[in-house]
Amino acid sequence: MPDTESAHRFVPPHWPIAAGKPNFVDLWRSTSNTLLGWSHEVYSGGVYQAKLPGAPLVIGDADLAAAILVEHADAFPHGEQFDRLFRPVWGRGIFVSEGPEWKWQRRAAMPAFRADRVKGFAPIMVAAAERTLAAWRTATAPLNLHDEARRLTLRVLLDAALSGGEDFPSIADVSRHIDEFLSRIGQFTLSDFFPMPDSLRPSTAKRGGPSTAWLRDHVDRMIARRRKQAEPRGDLVDLLFDAVDPDTGQRMDDELVRDNLMGFIAAGHETSSYALSWALWLVASHAPTQQRILEEVARVAGDAPLTAEHLDDLVFTKQVLQETMRLYPGATAVVRTAARDIELKGVKIRKGTLCVLATYAFHRRPDFWPDPHVFDPDRFAPDRQTPGRPRLAYMPFSAGPRVCMGAAFAMTELTLVLATLVRAVRLEPDPARPVELAIRLGGFVAKGGMWLKPVPRAL
Ligand code: HEM
């Protein structure tokens, strides 16, 4: 029975939708949580720009967002701020490059992320889920889903992007350094955003910190070892070694391979682990959804281990993930900077304006998503697509030429892992510890953790 017809209407917590304009304190704090800087207009399809020097233009109009991200993408690079903040961490890689330097790398690396290539990682993904299950089967106390999901997605990244992790002292070390590296990336101060000479800013070169240096060093050593190995592993390292610009024949040097692997770690770890922990928590909190996944997996795979061949048939499991990322997108917004004065859809945008495209607002607009705060995976059912809904009403992976490269990788991983876990254990939320929403690195987390008890199902 579809959830929409069930008596169990489930409204998980949501970030408050602004009723007015942000005050000065909100704007101050919006450097670490962009949602605090959005006014009510943004949630009803308008735009908002605070009257402060350097204040971003927050865009709640999904058609204007499409004009910026898709139709006029050339006029909207990430911009000087993004470059200043992230180049110390990601060097010359895809994330921070622009123009021809970005284009050739993206063209060369993209085949590695095509859905058919990504399917090759399915055994790694299912094995990571099985390892998690082995620990869950003997768990006696509730577990923090954020930690569990982070460990699982890290295991996948180690195997897919870091050569199995054998060049690192231990998984615990890598995990600690990645956490530190990511939290440094997400630390901003107002001085990072205000227009002022760079000489007056605290050094942005220190942004990466010792963990960035530690990771870089180990990734460099891993690349050097892998270059000497004749036998390919078919992982992302090999795929980047083999990446070649079809037009020019250009290949990536070791430094560029490293910068891109560091980018994949940052892009793929936290985002996927948040999506997985929210999906598991939503499933645990909504019994009809848990039951439907269980029935779907039984129908599609019987008792056999899940493989890439089952992916196309795990339709409802995928809908659950799509709905999870609508409610809790891994990035609450996407940013761009106007490279020139431009007028789009009647809005004048001055050169240098930082544009914040309000993903979270698009995902919660009642005109796009009736009853927007209700968890309803059937919104994504093939027969429920709403004609006339703008293309960017749903953009967890962004859109346009810079759309997330890892979307197929993430969906493959999340679908196989969610199906594998739900089939083996019944998930029960811990009523003593309700979820309290917070933001970390532009994505939603549960403040004191997300607690759940996995109860093994009878075989
Ligand atoms: C649920 C998981 C994920 C989510 C929600 C997500 C979301 C995003 C978003 C919103 C962007 C920004 C695009 C823009 O600026 O317009 C992005 C970019 C990117 N993502 Fe992901 N991502 C996920 C997983 C991954 C994974 C697993 C990888 C790789 C292993 C990856 C690789 C990238 C890369 C390379 C870019 C930069 C693309 C470019 O600038 O051309 N992502 N992602």
pLDDT tens for each residue of 104-122:
999 999 988 998 899 999 9
Confidence of residue 4 (pLDDT cuts 50, 70, 90): very low
What gap in Å lies between CA 57 and CA 354, rounded to an integer?
A: 6
Amino acid present at 226 = R
**Ligand 1 centroid to residue 394 C-alpha, Å:** 15
Task: Reply yes or no on whether the pLDDT at 279 is more than 80.
Answer: yes
> Can you give the pLDDT at residue 459?
62
> For residues 194-219, b (16+ Cβ closer than 10 Å) or e, as one string?
eeeeeeeeeebeebbbebbebbbebb
Interatomic CA distance for residues 307 and 71, integer angstroms: 38
Nearest CA to ligand 1 atom 36: 404
Q: Whose CA is nearest to atom 18 of ligand 1?
A: 404
Band (3; pLDDT cuts 50, 70, 90): very low
Are 329 and 69 spatial neighbours (Cβ–Cβ below 8 Å)? no
What is the CA(437)–ligand 1 centre distance, in A? 23
Ligand 1 neighbours (beta carbon < 6 A): 94-95, 106, 263-264, 267-268, 271-272, 275, 330-331, 334, 396-398, 402, 404-406, 409-410
Ligand 1: centre distance to CA 403 (Å): 7
Separation of CA 311 and ligand 1 centre (Å): 21
Residue nearest to atom 32 of ligand 1 (CA): 406
pLDDT score for 195: 62
Domains in the chain, start-ordered, CATH in brackets?
3-456 (1.10.630.10)
Which is nearest to 366 in space by CA: 5, 12, 17?
17
In angstroms, the CA 287 to CA 212 distance is 42
Residue 181 — pLDDT band, cuts 50, 70, 90?
confident
Q: Provide the pLDDT confidence category of residue 5 given band limits of 50, 70 and 90.
A: very low
Tell me which of 85, 152, 404, 405 to substitute to probe ligand 1's pocket, judged by most ligand atoms within 8 Å of the beta carbon.
Answer: 404
Measured between alpha carbons, how far is 212 from 232 in angstroms, rounded to an integer?
Answer: 27
**C-alpha neighbours within 13 Å on the C-beta side of residue 58:** 29
- CA-CA distance, 173 to 175, in Å (whole number)? 5
Whether 441 contacts 185, CB under 8 Å: yes
pLDDT of the residue at 198: 65
Distance 263 CA to ligand 1 centre (A): 9
Per residue in 68-85, pLDDT (tens digit) is 999 999 999 998 878 777
Which of 73-87, 195-209, 275-289 has the lowest average pLDDT? 195-209
pLDDT tier at 316 (50, 70, 90 boundaries)?
very high
Tokens of 447: 């403040």
pLDDT score for 182:
77
Q: Are 412 and 118 in contact (CB under 8 A)?
A: yes
Model confidence at 190, in pLDDT bands (50, 70, 90)?
low
pLDDT above 50: residue 339 = yes
As a whole number of angstroms, the longest Cα–Cα distance in the chain is 65
99 sits in the region (left: phi over 0; alpha: psi -120 to 50; else beta) called left
Instruction: For residues 150 and 320, give the distance between their C-alpha atoms in angstroms, rounded to a whole number.
Output: 19
Atom of ligand 1 nearest to the CA of 325: 5
Q: Which long-range contacts (CB under 8 A, 24 or more apart) does 3-9 make?
A: 3/286, 3/288, 3/289, 3/292, 3/375, 3/376, 3/377, 3/378, 4/376, 4/378, 6/288, 8/286, 8/287, 8/288, 9/374
Q: Locate the ligand 1 atom nearest the alpha carbon of residue 401 and give its number.
A: 41
* Mean pLDDT score, 282-303: 96
pLDDT of residue 162: 84
How far is CA 400 from its chain centroid?
A: 16
Q: What is the pLDDT of residue 24?
A: 87
Ligand 1 center–CA 426 separation, angstroms: 31
Flag whether pLDDT at 143 surpasses 90: yes
453 - beta bridge partners? Answer: 428
Report the separation in Å between the CA atom of 441 and the middle of ligand 1, taken as the mean of its atom positions: 13
pLDDT of residue 196: 65
pLDDT at position 232, please? 86
Q: Which residue is it, tokens 């019987």?
A: 302
Query: 3-class SS at 116?
Result: helix
